[in-house]
Each structure stands twice: as C-alpha cells, then as structure tokens.
Structure 1
Amino acid sequence: MLFDLKNDSMTSGLISFTILVATISISILADFMNLPKTGLLLILQLAVVMVAFASNRLTAVISSFICAMAFNYFFTAPRYSFHMSDATDIADMLFFLIVALLTSQVASYIHLKRQELKQVQLRASILLSVSHDLRTPLASIIGSLTTVETYKPQLSEQQCDELINGALLQTHRLHNYIENLLQATKIQHKQLQITLSHNALFSICQEVEKRAESPRLHLINANEPIMVQAQASLLEQAIFNLVDNALKYSPDDQPVHLFLIKNKNRVEISINDQGTGISPDLIDTIFDSFVSVRIGDKGYGGSGLGLTVAKGIVEAHQGQLTIVPSKTGCCMQISLPIAEEITQ
C-alpha cells in the first residue's frame, strides 16, 4: 500500500476546474451587462494565468484552449455554436490563444522556479536541523564516554553508571531522531509504504510506554479490547512522538495521560499533558516539517519532525491527528477506524 500524503494532481485539477467555471460564468454575466469582447477576453486571459500558477504547464495549455472555445461558443456569432463567420472574431480568438499560450508558459515557468526555491530552502533547513540535532547528542555521548574512559579510577561506581546511562539516553534520542528523519523523507517524497495486519492497540501502546521509560506516563485502556489494522512499528512511532512531546513540554512533576477510548466504529487515542499548550495562532503550522513552536522545553530541543511524521503515519492508516481544545496543557488526539472498518 503506497501512501500518498496529498494528491497534488487531483487538488490542482480541482482548483483549475473551479477557476475556469467561475471565470466563464463571470464572463457570461459580464456579456449580459454588455461588456465589450475585449473585456471578456481579458477575463478569460486572467483565468489562464491563474490556472498556470495553480497547477502545471499542461493544465494551463489545456485551459487556454478551453477558454478560446468558450469565447467562440458563448460570445461570437452565431451564438452557442463553434462556427465563426466574423473575421474579426476569428482574429480576436487566435490572438487570444497565442497570448494565452505565451502567458501560461511564463506563469508556469515562474511557478516552477518558486517550487525549486522552496525545495532549496527546505534542503537548507534540513541540513541546518540535521547538523544541529545530530551534533548535540553525539557531543554528549562522546563527552560522557570519554570522561568514563579517562577518569574511571577516580570515579565512583554510581558516577560511572550515571555517565553511561546519560550516554545511553542520548543514543536513544539519536536513534529516534534518525528514525523520524527517515520517515519524514519518505512522507515528503510520498514513498511511505505500510503493511497492514491485525494488532491489539493496547499492546502497541504498552510498547510506547516501555519505550518512554517514564513513571509520569499513565496508560488508561478502554473497557474492551480494540483491534486495528496497522503496521505496528509505524503506529508505535507515531504515538511515541506525541507522548515524547507531551513529556518533554510539561513539568517534571505532572503526569501525562494516554487514553484509549472506543467511539462507535472508531478508536480515539488521546495524549493529554499539563504543559504550556500551543498558542492558537501557531496551530495551523504545528504539523509542518521543522516547526517547533511549543514553549517550556526543558532543554531537550526539538527537531520539528515528530508531529509531521506522526500525522503522516496516522493518515496512512486512514486516521486523523488533531489538536483538541483543552483548558490546561495540550491534548493531541488520534482517531483510527477499528479493524473491520478499514478498506484495503
């Protein structure tokens, strides 16, 4: 099963179709108001430019011909026919078609360059994030192990254990970051593949609990077993990312609750923390790559990939990841169909 995070071609096609329908409708209305044909051609020309920016070059070229045919059918004599008898109308339509094709090419070229610029900026962000997020745990690991190696005779057994455990913790952080980076890359290129099988959701959450290794995390199961169709390792990664965020951005003396709630033919997985929450004006960007907008981080840092990966994985399982309004802290909720409701 190949996961497609966003069907870009379908979306751009729908936008282009909407632009054409709206523009032709406006042109017909303007014709009833006795707008000159040159004005109608300018309206149709604007449609071609808008389509070129909204989609791709081929769609823009097709739109040019559609607009030319619409001009012929609705606005030239004889009306509501593709036959043209007036030489001026023929010249106007041909001139419109030439200009429309040229402007669509220019607009598509500008659109392409903008996309390339975004890719360059994204690559720069990735390099900057990777260099920082890899260097920090690696420096900690090297520092801890070097200290143990150099000063082991002078260190107590407890001090050695603390240094080794600290290095091990940073190793887990590094592994989690690399895993998120790998999944984010697959999601970005729409190559995330999942293999579905029956899994007990509570068992997956128990693995998350073991992985989090925090007494603050409280797993609260539903009253009955819940089965989901999922790739257990990926769903575990998605839930862990949310739990890890909740633990990271909430006070050390406050619990984080992981609820499993059956709601008709769906299951809701809620992760509630008592942190500072998310500012309302930042909610729209919270799931973007390399965005880390929560405050209250206790010095752990954040790659800005965890929520992006979680959302991509959840949507690959035909689910939704949303931020639920909460009076205190933050509540992230995953909604998944129960096993029998998933379509293969």
Structure 2
Amino acid sequence: MSIKLSRLSPFYLATLSVCCAVLISYGLGIWIGSSTVVLLILQLSVVVVAFLCRPRWVYIVALLEALYFNFLFTVPRYSFEMFNGDDIINLLVFLLVAVVTSQLSDLYQHQQNQLKQEQLRNSILLSVSHDLRTPLSAIIGTLSTLKEYMGKLSSKQKEELLDSAMVESHRLHQYIENLLQVTKLQHGVVVPKKSQQSIVHIIHLVIDRFTQQKSRLVLQTQDNLPLVNVSSSLIQQAIFNVIDNALRYSPNDKCVTISVRVSQANAQVIVDIQDEGVGIRQDQAESIFELFYSQNSLKRSDSGTGLGLAVAKGILSAHGGTIQAIPLVKGCLIRIGLPSVTEVHYG
C-alpha cells in the first residue's frame, strides 16, 4: 500500500528525511572518504524538507545535520569541536544555503497558493456564468409568460408556472449557498456552532425541502439512535447536497434510499444514501468529492457544477465526520459518518 508523502505529518517527514540522509551520507562518507559528498547529501535532505514542511522544520533539520556532520566527519572525530578552517567554512556555507533554501521554498509555496486561489476564482466565475444563469433564465421566462398571458391562463396553468418558478428559485438558492460555502471552506472560516441534535429530525427537515421529489425518497431508521453534536443548518446542507446529487443521477422513476444506523465499531451515526442510477467506478470513488468534478456523460442538463459533494465533504470534515463513495453493482452508495454522543434519542 503506497503512502503519499504530502499526507504525512511534518515531524515524520523531517524525521524520515534526516534518517535517510544520515544513513546514505554515512555510507558514502566511509566509502569515498569525502566530507564534501556528505554535505551535499545532507543539503539535498534540507531541500526536500524545505518543499514539504514549514521553514522552522528546515532550520531544525539543518541544525541536527550540522551537529551530525561535526560529530562524525570533522577533526577531532566524535566530538563537537572543530579546528579545521575548511570544515568550518563548509559547515557555515551549508547552514547559509539551508536558510536561503527555506526562504525560497516559502516564497514558492506562497506563490503556488496564490495560483491555486486564482484558479479557484476563475473556476467559480465560469461556474457562475452557466449554472446560475440557467435557473435565472427559467425564472425570468416563467414570470414573463405569467405576466403576458395572465388573463388567458387557467388557474391550473398559473399554478404550474408558479411551481416551476419556485423550483428554479430553490435551485438557484442552492447554487449560491454552495458557492458561499466553497469560499468559506477554502479560507478555513467554517466554524460550526454545534449542539446536540437528532440526525433523524435533521434528515426529515432535508426531505421536506424536496417538495417535487419527496415521493422518491425512502427513509429507514434504526431504533434508539444516539444524538450527534453538529450544526443543524450545515449538516442539513451537506445531506441535502448528497441526496440532491443522488436524485439527479438517478432515473426519474427510481427511488433514493436513506438508511440511518449506529456503527458499533467506531461509535458513529451512519447515514447511507443509495441511488439506483448507473453508479460510479472504483477509480472515481474519491474524485467525486473534488471541486467541479462531474460525470459529464451521465448527468442531466440540471446536474449543476460539481460543487455539492465537495461542499458536503468540507462541512463533514469540519464536524470531525467522514464521507465516502461505495461503488455497487447497481447504483452508488454515499456513506456519511458523524461522531455520536452518549445520550440516546427515543422517537
């Protein structure tokens, strides 16, 4: 099983880098007998840490490696004294290069973050230009029709037009909410105001928002579910996004099943949302939670930007929860996990 270096903590990255550099440099130092080669290997380790960790870790690593070099490769050996002028100059240059490397890498990472933010802003603007315009155009068209033919339309036709405008209004509102949440999540300003809530009550509030497709939603719950410590409004939005996504990628005559239970293994309340659509492949299981990801070949014309699941993941992460996609033979299962509290909710 491979492990991505970027997912390791700075402490483990720095420790791994120092250990590898020490072992390699020690072997080459004995084999070649050149202190310069040793310093180059140690310098390479500093460069690696500089691009993977914060500057303070670079300084710590550089200091430890300088002490290691002094102890093993300068005269007198096995002491922290140093009398050879060349060794002193080499070590000072090593430390100077480590400081400069740290500053340059910090500048590089800052520029990369700015570039990512700019790319995100551009993506959001492109998204807004299409996905917000579509429901807005539908609302304007519906209201224009209603105004122009007010006296000629029957009560049923007027009601249908108003219902259509309401559906598009809710859709527009949901897009805007997701865009706002994406911006907050990217800047790390989502701080949930938590309280103990019944997850079943939250799900019922979400289901009530699907006025037109409520009949397609099937809720199955376990008895005596514990409460969860969450922000009700944020968790509503996360669950709404997942259910909305399931409905959009499912045939109109198929149901979406919402199952709620307790996981005894990790004391989580589990919410499974399963659709009967064409599903996803195993290699898409993580990608669907990325910003602006969408299955273009499968979605309908109203499937949106690909923000919904990314926002849901961000909200759940802020609550210490989890979300994962589980491919099935038919359809797709999105599993949400939220930490439970000891109090049990009856009813």
TM-score, normalization: structure 1?
0.89
Query: Does the alignment pair 1:170 with 2:172?
Result: no
Partner of 1:65: 63
Aligned ranges for residues 255-274 of structure 1 at < 5 Å? Answer: 255-264=255-264, 265-274=267-276
1:260 deviates by 0.5
Runs of 4+ more than 4 Å apart: none
Partner of 1:228: 228
1:307 deviates by 0.9
Aligned ranges for residues 119-198 of structure 1 at < 5 Å? Answer: 119-198=117-196
Aligned ranges for residues 246-325 of structure 1 at < 5 Å? Answer: 246-264=246-264, 265-293=267-295, 295-325=297-327
CA displacement 1:121-164 (0-9 Å, x = unmatched): 11111221122222111111111101101122232322222221
Larger RCO, structure (CA 8 Å, separation 6 or more): 1
1:10 deviates by 8.9
Partner of 1:242: 242
CA distance in 2, matches of 1:203, 1:295: 35
Secondary structure at 2:299's aligned position in 1? Answer: coil
CA distance in 1, matches of 2:157, 2:222: 42
CA distance in 2, matches of 1:132, 1:114: 27
Q: Is the 8 A contact 1:137 1:174 kept in 2?
A: yes
Q: Is the 8 A contact 1:249 1:295 kept in 2?
A: no
Code of the aligned partner of 1:201: I
CA distance in 2, matches of 1:199, 1:284: 29
Secondary structure at 2:228's aligned position in 1? Answer: strand
- Which deviates further from its counterpart, 165-174 or 226-235? 226-235
Secondary structure at 2:79's aligned position in 1? Answer: coil
1:35 deviates by 5.2
1:62 deviates by 4.3
1:67 deviates by 2.9
Code of the aligned partner of 1:328: K
1:308 deviates by 1.4
- Which deviates further from its counterpart, 86-95 or 100-109? 100-109
CA displacement 1:251-299 (0-9 Å, x = unmatched): 1111110000122232211000111222333333221222223642221
**CA RMSD of superposed structures (Å):** 2.3
1:233 deviates by 1.4
CA change 1:61–1:259 in 2 (3 A) is: same
Q: Is the 8 A contact 1:250 1:296 kept in 2?
A: no
Q: Is the 8 A contact 2:29 2:37 kept in 1?
A: no
Partner of 2:36: 38
1:184 deviates by 1.9
For structure 1, the 5+ residue unaligned runs are 1-7
Secondary structure at 1:335's aligned position in 2? Answer: strand
Identity, % of aligned positions: 41
1:107 deviates by 3.4
